[in-house]
Structure 1
Amino acid sequence: MAAQHLEQPPFDVSFDLDGKRVVYLDCRNALLCSKETFAMMMGVTEDTVTSWMQTGTVPSVKMGRPRLVNLAQLRADLSKGKTVFAQGDYADE
């Protein structure tokens, strides 16, 4: 996996376990990603991803100012066999 640690924004796509900003050139192993990156990966608009995060359809976390998609949680749920993501699935997060 190719990753680059950055000390300054604006290129932070994710964060490593130590809280350092990381740009993943390959997001398959990223823990979190921006809604822009997730929209590109899913082939949908940023507005669609924003709606999914607001309705709890995909897991997300607030990291400072931005809200990021929780890719680690998505992977964990997919590995447990989750195939349907509905509104409210992640409402308590």
Structure 2
Amino acid sequence: MTTQHLEQPPFDVSFDLDGKRVVYLDCRNALFCSMEIFAAMVGVTSDTVKGWIQMGTVPSIKMGRPRLVNLAQIRTDLSRGKTIFAQGDYADE
């Protein structure tokens, strides 16, 4: 996996565990990503992803100003056999 630490990246794709912004050139191992990047990964619009987050269908985390999609949680849930992501699954986050 290739990563790049930048003080002011052109866009925030993810953050490392120390809170530094990281641009992942390969997002398969990113912990978090922006709504725009997730939308591109799954082939929907950013507005669709924003709606999923607001309805609790997709796990997210607030890190600073942006709300990011929690890819690590999605991977964990998939590895445990989750196949359907329904409204309210992540409402308590």
Gaps of 5+ in 2: none
TM-score (norm 1): 0.97
Contact 2:9–2:23 (CA under 8 A) maintained in structure 1? no
TM-align CA RMSD: 0.7
Paired residues, what number?
93
In structure 2, distance between residues paired with 1:12 and 1:6: 10
Matched, 1:74 2:74: yes
In structure 2, distance between residues paired with 1:71 and 1:52: 14
TM-score (norm 2): 0.97
Gaps of 5+ in 1: none
The runs of at least 4 aligned residues of structure 1 exceeding 3 Å deviation read none
- Could you tell me which residue of structure 1 aligns to residue 40 of structure 2? 40
